[in-house]
């Protein structure tokens, strides 16, 4: 049971809003000590895992390109395109993005889009421009909400699309785990069962985006209507 102390550290640390890096390291130390490992062994285990998972952080390579494009007006252009589009709303825009993200992920194209590649430079500014049109003036809280929904839509689209693709990591993991119990399945047998949830995710999140549009329309108020 001592091994679970590390989980308690995580929960308390995140709730009390300590620096998350600090919380993670303290949790690793507590977990390791609770399991009877000595300090050097814990540092070594953590260092080894950190070195082996460097691939997670290579996404930051795209920042010089995104930053340069921002400097030359990429976000501004994304805003202009939406501002010139009649009838563009946050809901319609993000529902379209959700569908596109689900379909491309289902085809295995998970790294075609993402928070650094598409959400910050394109989707979020477009959504903000649409919200400005819908509400007249966009107050800071609503702007925050619209940006958060842009990131959320990318996550929902990715998570509930990618498992339809047969060669994605989670499908291969399930196949491997089942094999340990002598159950042999083809990836396709697993991936078809991701389709009902993908449809449900589109309906639920799409309904919430539609609801967001209604809330934005109310913000405009009767007096500001054209």
Partner 1 sequence: MITLQFVYVVTGIVFAAFALLSARDRSNAKRFGNAAFWGLLAVSFLAGNQLGDFWNGILVLLLVAIAGLGALGRGKPRTTTTDERRAEADRHGNRLFWLALIIPATALIGTLLFKRLPAFFESRQVTLISLTMGVLLALAVAAAWLRPRPLVPLEEGRRLMDAVGWAAVLPQMLASLGAVFALAGVGDVIGEFARDVIPAGSLLGAVVAYGVGMALFTMIMGNAFAAFPVMAAAIGVPLLIQGYGGNPAVVCAIGMLAGFCGTLMTPMAANFNIVPAALLELRDRNGVIRAQILTALPLLAVNIALIYFLAW
Q: How far is the CB of 92 from partner 1 (least distance, A)?
A: 17
**206 and 98 in contact (C-beta within 8 Å)?**
yes
Site for partner 1 in 185-214 (CB under 8 A): 185, 189-194, 196-197, 200-201, 204-205, 208
Q: List the structure tokens of 177.
A: 């785990």
Site for partner 1 in 135-164 (CB under 8 A): 144-145, 147-152, 154-156, 159-160, 163
With binding defined as CB under 8 A, does residue 96 bind partner 1? no
CA–CA distance, 67 with 205 (Å, rounded to integer): 30
Which window, 17-25, 83-91, 130-138, 217-225, contacts partner 1 (CB under 8 A)?
17-25
Q: What is the dihedral of CA 144, 150, 155, 156, to 10 degrees?
A: 110
Q: How far is the CB of 93 from partner 1 (least distance, A)?
A: 15
Beta carbon nearer to partner 1, 24 or 217? 24
With binding defined as CB under 8 A, does residue 22 bind partner 1? yes
**160 and 203 in contact (C-beta within 8 Å)?**
no
With binding defined as CB under 8 A, does residue 169 bind partner 1? yes
Q: How far is the CB of 188 from partner 1 (least distance, A)?
A: 10
Beta carbon nearer to partner 1, 179 or 224? 179
Looking up tokens 């709730």, which residue turns up?
A: 15
Q: Which bin fits 20, alpha (ψ -120 to 50), beta or left (φ > 0)?
A: alpha
Size of the site for partner 1 (CB under 8 A): 110
Site for partner 1 in 36-55 (CB under 8 A): 37, 40, 42-51, 53-55
Helices (H), the chain: 5-15, 20-34, 39-52, 63-71, 74-83, 90-106, 124-135, 140-162, 169-180, 187-191, 195-220
Q: How far is the CB of 221 from partner 1 (least distance, A)?
A: 24
With binding defined as CB under 8 A, does residue 83 bind partner 1? no
């Amino acid at each position: 049971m001592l091994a679970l102390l590390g989980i308690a550290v995580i929960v308390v640390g995140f709730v009390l809003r300590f620096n998350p890096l600090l919380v993670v390291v303290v949790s690793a130390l507590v977990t390791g000590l609770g399991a009877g490992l000595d300090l050097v062994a814990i540092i070594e285990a953590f260092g080894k895992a950190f070195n082996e998972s460097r691939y997670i952080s290579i996404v930051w390579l795209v920042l010089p390109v995104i930053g340069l494009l921002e400097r030359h007006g990429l976000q501004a252009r994304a805003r202009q395109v939406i501002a010139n589009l009649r009838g563009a709303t946050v809901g319609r825009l993000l529902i379209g993005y959700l569908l596109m993200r689900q379909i491309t992920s289902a085809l295995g194209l998970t790294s075609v889009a993402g928070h650094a590649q598409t959400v910050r430079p394109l989707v979020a500014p477009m959504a903000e421009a649409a919200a400005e049109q819908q509400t007249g003036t966009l107050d800071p809280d609503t702007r925050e909400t619209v940006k958060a929904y842009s990131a959320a839509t990318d996550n929902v689209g990715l998570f509930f699309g990618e498992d339809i693709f047969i060669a994605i990591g989670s499908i291969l993991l399930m196949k491997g785990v089942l094999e340990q119990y002598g159950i042999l399945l083809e990836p396709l047998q697993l991936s078809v069962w991701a389709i009902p949830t993908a449809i449900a995710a589109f309906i639920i999140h799409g309904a919430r985006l539609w609801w967001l549009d209604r809330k934005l329309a109310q913000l405009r108020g009767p007096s500001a209507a054209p």
